[in-house]
Amino acid sequence: MRYAKEKVEKLCSFYVSDWHLATMLLPYINKKVDEKVEVIAILETNLKENIKVLLNKLNLKNMEKIDKIDFDKTNAYKYENIVKKIGDKLNNEIVIIVNGNKEYIEATNNNINKVIEKNINKINKKIKIVNCYEVTEFNTNIKEILDEHDKILNTSGEKEKGEVFEGYSDVKINEAK
């Protein structure tokens, strides 16, 4: 990344099923919408039905606004699709939720990074990228994933990595010497 770290914050999240993911994301999305933050979903699988079912069961303040978020599947391998999703929103505070397998998340993040780099002068508010990982697929790579992110998002909101994973440290052995 060649852009200023103070403009972009990366969060990671871990879930066990699409229902768990939707249940975990909805309170966070509701809070962000309440704070007038633009929420964008870039998903490998369609979460629209899960979100609709949960919205009908929950009494969230921002149900109508959340319902307007596109939770459909996105072909993130096409740079143009990422430009369409986030390109004209970069002058607002935004949260970009990314979900998929490792290859999908990496491709999406690469394209997001390209869009941000091309538009760095338009960005005057914070961008948060929330990469959501299915635990069963990424269980052996959790330390690597944590190292690549600034914070963790879980059911109780944004947390420091050490708060969730006791004993976790960002300090690498070679850097500590």
pLDDT grade for 176, boundaries at 50, 70 and 90: very low
Sheet with strand 94-99: strands edge to edge: 38-43, 94-99, 127-134, 8-15, 151-154, 157-159
pLDDT tens track for 125-142: 889 999 999 988 777 778
Percent of the chain whose predicted confidence (pLDDT) is above 70:
92
In CATH, what number is assigned to the domain containing residue 108? Answer: 3.40.50
pLDDT tens track for 44-103: 999 999 999 999 888 888 889 999 999 999 998 899 999 999 988 888 899 999 999 989
Q: What is the pTM of this model?
A: 0.89
Q: Average pLDDT, whole number, for the chain?
A: 87
pLDDT of 130 reads: 98
Residue 27 has pLDDT above 80, yes or no: yes
Secondary structure (DSSP) of 18-51:
HHHHHHHHHHHHHHHHHTT-EEEEEESS--HHHH
State the total domains in the chain. Answer: 1
Full residue range of the structural domain in which residue 72 is found: 5-176
Give pairs for 58-63: CB < 8 Å, separation 24+: 58/26, 60/26, 60/27, 60/30, 61/30, 61/34, 62/30, 62/33, 62/34
